[in-house]
Amino acid sequence: MIVGVALAVISAFCWGAGGSVFKRGLRGISEIEGNLLRSVFVSLYLFPFVVISGFKLYDLNTIILLILSSLLAFFVGDLLYFSSLKRSTVSVSLPLASTYPIHVLILSSIIYKTQITLELVLASFLVLLAVIVVPKESGGRISGAYLALLAALSWALSMIILDYLTKVMSTVEIAFYRMLLNAALLFSLTRRVKFSKDAAIFMGVIGGLISAIGILSFVKAVELIGSHRVSPISATSPVIGAVISRIYLKEKLTLRSLFAAFLIFLSVLLVSKSF
pLDDT digits (tens, 9 = 90+) for 54-100: 888 899 999 999 999 999 999 999 999 989 888 887 777 877 887 88
pLDDT of residue 117: 74
Q: How far is CA 204 from CA 41, 124, 229, in A?
A: 6, 35, 30
Residue 191 gets the label, from left (phi > 0), alpha (psi -120 to 50) or beta, of left
Sequence-ordered list of residues with C-beta below 8 angstroms from that of 83, at least 6 positions apart, any chain: 31, 144, 147
Tell me the mean pLDDT in the region 236-261: 73
By residue range, what is the domain housing residue 184? 1-273
Query: pLDDT tens digits, residue range 100-152?
Result: 878 887 887 787 776 767 876 787 778 767 766 765 544 434 567 889 889 99
Q: Per-residue confidence at 31, pLDDT binned at 50, 70, 90?
A: confident
Domains: count for the chain: 1
Task: Pick the more confident residue, 269 or 198.
Answer: 198
Report how far Cα 222 is from the mean position of its chain's Cα atoms: 14
Q: Residue 216 pLDDT > 50, yes or no? A: yes
Most confident of 8-12, 95-99, 195-199: 8-12
Q: What is the pTM of this model?
A: 0.79
- Identify the pLDDT of residue 138: 45
